Amino acid sequence: MSSSWGQRIRISIFGGSHTAAIGVNIDGLPAGEAIDWEKILAQMARRAPGQDPTATTRREADEPKVLCGLLEGVTTGAPLCAIIENTNQRSKDYSQLKFLPRPGHADYTAFVKYKGCNDVRGGGHFSGRLTAPLVFAGAVARQLLERRGILAAAHVSSVAGVKDQAFHPEGPAPELMRRLSQTYFPVIDPAAQDAMRGEIERARMARDSVGGTVECALTGMPVGVGNPMFGGVENLIASLVFGIPAVKGIEFGAGFGAAELRGSENNDPMYVDAAGKVQARNNRAGGVLGGISNGMPVIFRVAFKPTPSISQEQDTVDLRTHANGKLTVTGRHDPCIVPRAAAVVEAAACVAALELLAQSGML
């Protein structure tokens, strides 16, 4: 297995849901960057389980412990390694999954690929819990970006078809971004959150789950970040975002909707503003042209499937006998992962943006 990403800012995520700890090693950070620990903890808390009826009841403090790379709150330039201890495991919930794979989860594919040696407890290395170290890395990256005028924020843009307002294509206001990026289950319109909660609760009562989408914006990205053909802004963000379990799609700007527009509708008209800056009206490009940032906010949406572990009886196979079987998943699972995943998408955007800046010689 390899769970490493990046060329200049390299992250390597390790551990499993029920191992002693999970963590991340971050290589390539510049020295001399002050890291505000309270801000790190605030981001970790946004993703942590057990704090809301829409999430799993597994409670974890998710307090990271830095092993190296930070001295008196400042990056030393050496690899920054942090661990998060797992303190609330119930491994017996998973004993049957070794041979009765959950439909929709990675149990079957991992069993074949790793010859049955993979750790199935809590989903092992495939668990949503592995997004905690990603949020840690994102919380570090975010502080370097903010110092350079780049902000990231995401909101839950839909759950089970209930939609929040969308970001203004020309970018959300900084106050809105600050509110969203400090909130658990961030939404623009509080009424939408009530309706989403209703859908999640209905699914939970039916021993089912629901999916949804997260919309994320990065503002302040300078023009010229990103490279064609494979090192573009979209490429790097998408490759990190697809590392988040349960992600099934991503679209930038007008995205799939662009396929239904004419060129005259889809092109963003350009103009020079009063300060002499080249701007675009509207932002169907999502801030990216030719893989390179055009100075407009980078806006993208991510689709999450419904949580695979549901407690209804489902058809599966018995990998010992190769016979058809039945499975009823027990254990603690999120009826909807999307409220917690917003912080994870933001973190992925921050790590990708820092890597893009580094690759473009702007860090």
Ligand X SMILES: Cc1cc2nc3c(=O)[nH]c(=O)nc-3n(C[C@H](O)[C@H](O)[C@H](O)COP(=O)(O)O)c2cc1C
Q: Which is nearer to ligand X, 123 or 291 (CB)?
A: 123
Subset of residues 296 to 355 that bind ligand X, contact rule: CB under 6 A: 305, 307-309, 333-334, 337, 340-341, 344
Q: How far is the CB of 93 from ligand X (least distance, A)?
A: 11
Residue 327 neighbours by CB under 8 Å, 6+ apart: 96, 100, 101, 102, 103, 313, 314, 315, 316
Torsion-angle region of 357 (φ positive above 0: left; ψ -120 to 50: alpha; else: beta) = alpha
CB 217 within 8 A of CB 177: yes
Smallest separation, CB 273 to ligand X (Å): 39
| Region 157-196 residues binding ligand X, contact defined as CB under 6 A | none
Question: Residue 253: how many CA atoms within 13 Å on its side-chain side?
Answer: 25
The one among 22, 80, 83, 106 contacting ligand X by CB under 6 A: 106
CB atoms within 10 A of CB 25: 20
Nearer to ligand X, 107 or 268 (CB): 107
The values of phi and psi at residue 108, to 5°, are -70, -50
Indicate whether 105 belongs to the interface with ligand X (CB under 6 A): yes
Nearer to ligand X, 254 or 338 (CB): 338
Q: Among 25, 56, 181, 213, which residue interacts with ligand X (rule: CB under 6 A)?
A: 56
Closer CB to ligand X, residue 253 or residue 308? 308
**Piece of the chain touching ligand X by CB under 6 A; list 24-32, 146-154, 187-195, 241-249:** 241-249
46 binds ligand X (CB under 6 A): no
Q: What is the Cα–Cα distance from 171 to 177, expressed in whole angstroms?
A: 10
The DSSP bridge partners found for residue 80 are 26
Stretch of 29-37, 120-128, 222-230, 265-273 lying at the interface with ligand X (CB under 6 A): 120-128
Buried b (16+ CB within 10 A) or exposed e, 87-121: eebeeebbebbbbbbbebbbbbebbeeeeeebbbb
User: In the structure encoding, which two tokens stand for residue 108, read together?
Assistant: 């079957």
> Minimum distance between the CB of residue 250 and ligand X, rounded to whole angstroms?
13
Residues that bind ligand X (CB under 6 A): 56, 105-106, 123, 126-128, 131, 244-246, 305, 307-309, 333-334, 337, 340-341, 344
